[in-house]
Amino acid sequence: MNQLMIRDVRILDPVNEVDRIGTLWIREGRIAEAFEPDGDTVVIDGAGLTAAPGLIDLHVHLRDPGQTEKEDILSGCRAAAAGGVTQLLAMPNTRPAVDTPETVRYILEKAKNADARVHVVGAITKGLGGHEATDIGALYEAGIAALSDDGVPVLDTSIMVAAMQKAAEAEMDIPVTAHCEDPYLAGGKVNEGAVSRSLGVKGMPCAAEDAGTARELALAESYHLPIHICHVSTATSAAMIRAAKQRGVRVTAETAPHYLMLTEQELLRRDADFRMNPPLRTETDRLAMIEALRDGTIDAIATDHAPHTPQEKADFVHAPNGSIGMETSFAAAYTVLVEGNILTEGELIRKMSVHPARILRTYGGTLAVGTPADVMLYRKEAWTVDPQKLHGKSRNTPFKGLTLAAKVKMTIYGGRIVFDEWR
């Protein structure tokens, strides 16, 4: 399939200030000028649909290698496509961790046949242990696109600084993403407070995240280096990031749809699908995340897509943290932010495509002629999340049973239709 013609579609490209009804042309994998359709042209009726740049998810766990019963590269990318995600950043907490060039090459090779582009995050420390640095140069030569120790902080601060300095070098120029947490305060099952006390389980205080955020901001400011803060969930962390930006610190940040829509009250169900790290927080924190997106403190929305098997999630107290999110991310964010009159649709696309592209130093975020044809087609449509109808291997979604206000209907990656709800 070399040519696509999407007619009578609303074309939404916030970068180029385009919002109009027209025809979107795709040829040889790129957005094209108008051409004469022939027998090989696939014609799509776009009436009632919006065509927007494909989403870019900055925080995804594909579980491959090592835990492919939960997810693998191909199944994860199928889930991505069903949610309008055409590029994703794969975290390094696989088994083995992504701390050698061989593991990087394995992921990139397998991803060649996937339904989305996989960018690989290399580990900062060996085995994500926090103490022994990896060979960042070798990982970069193998193809990594970012650095992180993912779900744990880099314990040795000098190693973290060295990684930030190496990543910022002109010949490399890749982001460092930080899971902000003080490990001596962390370790709880849910947010520390009234709900944790009601459940009788150990809580994780906001201070654990806030202390970690403060450290990374201090490093970025003191050494004049960029840092990307992952999955912000507390009002205090958002306030610190806002103040740091005002001082000129080179910081970007993301939050996740579940922190925009849900609170710790969900945990009273004793359902481990609502347990993640950072945990769901209070209504005050939820509103702070929304405000931080509105005022630009938080640059991006990412999912922290973390698949687990039903057996693992069956025990509320002992289940691993994490929830899936790529198939519901746009719909959930649209429901809260667009339907709630917080952001326009164009502003939401900036948070989920334009800004992630800039943070990751990749293409995307636009439908300009000549750019790769990564396109999401969606419409305003009420639908209820049924975990059994999702496209990945795992079902641990915190949005199960919720009615969302927008639906991805088709996804095009590199000019190829990779998801079509009508098929």
Q: Of 237, 243, 193, 187, nearest to 212 (Cα)?
A: 237
Is 304 assigned a catalytic role? yes
CA distance 140 to 174: 9
Name the nearest CA neighbour of 400 among 244, 303, 262, 284.
Answer: 262
Tell me the C-alpha distance between 393 and 61, whole Å: 12
Sequence-distant (≥ 6) Cβ neighbours of residue 86 within 8 angstroms: 54, 55, 56, 80, 116, 117, 364, 374, 375, 376, 411, 412, 413, 418
Number of Cβ atoms within 10 Å of the Cβ of 289: 26
β partners of residue 376: 52, 411
- The Cα–Cα gap between 116 and 76 comes to 9
Report DSSP letters for 155-175, one per residue: S-HHHHHHHHHHHTSTTT---
| Phi, psi (degrees; rounded to nearest 5) at 127 | 65, 15
Q: Check 8, 304, 315, 374 and give the catalytic one.
A: 304
Structure tokens at 198: 């009601």
Q: What are phi and psi of 402, to 5 degrees?
A: -85, 145
- Which residue, 5, 84, 34, is CA-closest to 328? 84
Helix and strand totals (H; E) in the chain:
13, 18
Instruction: Write the CA distances from 372 to 16, 30, 369, 375, 399, integer angstroms.
Output: 15, 4, 9, 9, 32
C-alpha 363/C-alpha 95 separation (Å) is: 29
CB distance 306 to 246 below 8 Å: no
Spatial neighbors of 347 by CB under 8 A, at least 6 apart, are 14, 337
Q: How many residues does the chain have?
A: 423
Query: What positions carry a catalytic annotation?
Result: 304
